Structure 1
Amino acid sequence: MSYAVMVLGESGAGKSRSMKNLNPADTLVIQPIRKPLPFRSAGWGAFSKDNPDGSVIVTDNIPNIIKCVVNAEKWGKKHVVIDDAQYIMVNESLRRSAETGFTKFTEMAKGYVDLVHAAANANNDVRVYFMTHIQTDDFGFSRAKTVGKMIDSQVCLEGLFSIVLKCQARDGRHFFSTRTNGNDPVKTPEEMFDSPEIENDLAAVDAAICDYYGITQPQQQEQPA
């Protein structure tokens, strides 16, 4: 089975930065919004049928993203990172801004839930990281950012994940929180991480997940269909 992981954080907290120690040859980064990576990224080229050694795809189309998750392992990719994942819903909401009624919100929620389910249930050992902006409600509780209360009332996104990390920056240091502070949905399996704060390094997180679940890495690589 595949493994879905949510990574929360304010803009600038270090979500995208945490990817810099991943190997671009076995990483697939999906960008709903095209933007440069925030680190030296000469080896992170565009991924396509003509360039299967590439690493970056720009799309916010849920069926296309699910296809990437399902096929990632046979393409030689060990991890899929959906950067700025909240823009999957934001972009669809803007495209459908002229529509009235509540149906569109139900459809957006269902589409995103279907994506998370696909990321957690693909027939491979790929880890899928949802890098997501954070929002704080009137009571001071932080959660994954969506496109509004109509979505929030229908689904608790964090509840779909067994691993929820939080990116933070303090005193010039970027790090992940692995345990809740009581006002956020951070959670990790028992004994996966020894410390409530770990380095802002997605490669190290990925290694810890593989060790915890006994994941072995595939060797075969095929070109995308």
Structure 2
Amino acid sequence: MAIPVLIIGRSGTGKSTSLRNCVDNPDWNLIRVLNKPLPFKGKINGWNTDNYQQVMKCLIASKANNIVIDDAGYLITNMFMNGHSSAGGGNGVFTLYNQIGDHFWNLIQFISEKVPENKIVYVMMHEESNDLGEIKPKTIGKLLDEKVCIEGMFTVVLRCMAEGNNHLFVTQAADGAVSKSPIGMFANLTIDNDILLVEKAIREYYELGGKKEDAETK
């Protein structure tokens, strides 16, 4: 099974920017839910789609060991915006919210159960505060929050933070955020927001091979 990693943060805190050192790296693919330019020069090969079935096909088709779903929260938002006007009221709206929850839950399950081993899939989402002041992934409706708890489906949850000119990943729970990682995976509470550092820590911790290692064993 693949390892899903959740990365959350406010806009401008460095989620997409953390990919800056993956440019022209064949071991990285990018699925862009929103068709917007990257915040740095260069290209990361991949796809642009907000269709769940296409996202799943891309995850399977990818030859890279690392796949990023950028702006993944807009899978939820776009489905709501495209469907709420025609849903009507009452049961129609209730059904739409159920479908939104089902689709996103199924995607995370698909990553964990269907994407090949040795791959890491990074799911990037915006954050929001709930009624208790806890910082969590931004969603729509109560189904994903109350019945699913998105962050509970991930063993590694990193939060992007900006401190002055420094952009960081927070690796453990701090300041009300849901950040978490296995004991000993990261030596410090914060690390530079370079996703290559995250990949290195995960692969070393779980003793996951990559393309280079696979080639050496053949």
TM-score by length of structure 2 reads 0.89
Alpha-carbon shift at residue 206 of structure 1 (Å): 0.5
Query: Quick check: 1:106–1:154 contact (8 Å CA) kept in 2?
Result: no
Are positions 1:65 and 2:55 aligned together? yes
* CA RMSD, Structure 1 to Structure 2 (Å): 1.7
Q: How far apart, in 2, do the equivalents of 1:131 and 1:65 lie?
A: 14
Are positions 1:136 and 2:137 aligned together? no
Q: Identify which of 128, 132, 140 aligns with 1:147.
A: 140
Instruction: Give deviations 1:170-203, integer Å, cap 9, x for gaps.
Output: 1110000001015121110110000000011001
Alpha-carbon shift at residue 150 of structure 1 (Å): 4.4
Structure with more helix by fraction: 2
Alpha-carbon shift at residue 149 of structure 1 (Å): 2.9
Report the secondary structure of 1:154's partner residue: helix
Q: Match for 1:89: what amino acid?
A: I
Match of 1:112 in 2: 104
Q: Identify which of 103, 116, 119 aligns with 2:95.
A: 103
Percent identity at matched positions?
A: 33
Are positions 1:215 and 2:205 aligned together? no
Alpha-carbon shift at residue 112 of structure 1 (Å): 0.6
Match of 1:166 in 2: 159
Moved more, 20-29 or 108-117: 20-29
Q: How far apart, in 1, do the equivalents of 2:185 and 2:140 lie?
A: 32
Match of 1:56 in 2: 46
Query: Quick check: 1:164–1:186 contact (8 Å CA) kept in 2?
Result: yes
Q: How far apart, in 2, do the equivalents of 1:2 and 1:78 lie?
A: 9
Match of 1:52 in 2: none
Match of 1:34 in 2: 35
Alpha-carbon shift at residue 152 of structure 1 (Å): 2.2
Match of 2:76 in 1: 89
Q: How far apart, in 2, do the equivalents of 1:117 and 1:13 lie?
A: 27
Instruction: Give deviations 1:48-67, integer Å, cap 9, x for gaps.
Output: xxxxxxx1311011111112
Q: Match for 1:217: what amino acid?
A: G
Q: Match for 1:36: what amino acid?
A: P
TM-score by length of structure 1 reads 0.87
Stretches of structure 1 lacking an aligned partner (at least 5 in a row): 45-54, 221-225
Query: Quick check: 1:109–1:154 contact (8 Å CA) kept in 2?
Result: no
Aligned residue pair count = 207
Q: How far apart, in 1, do the equivalents of 2:73 and 2:158 lie?
A: 16
Q: How far apart, in 2, do the equivalents of 1:150 and 1:66 lie?
A: 22
Query: Quick check: 1:4–1:161 contact (8 Å CA) kept in 2?
Result: yes
Q: How far apart, in 2, do the equivalents of 1:150 and 1:70 lie?
A: 27
Match of 1:176 in 2: 169
Instruction: Give deviations 1:29-55, integer Å, cap 9, x for gaps.
Output: 1111101000111x43xxxxxxxxxx1
Query: Quick check: 2:144–2:150 contact (8 Å CA) kept in 1?
Result: no
Q: How far apart, in 2, do the equivalents of 1:147 and 1:29 lie?
A: 24
Q: How far apart, in 2, do the equivalents of 1:113 and 1:218 lie?
A: 29
Q: How far apart, in 1, do the equivalents of 2:209 and 2:22 lie?
A: 17
Alpha-carbon shift at residue 71 of structure 1 (Å): 2.8
Query: Quick check: 2:108–2:153 contact (8 Å CA) kept in 1?
Result: yes
Match of 1:17 in 2: 17
Q: Match for 1:84: what amino acid?
A: D
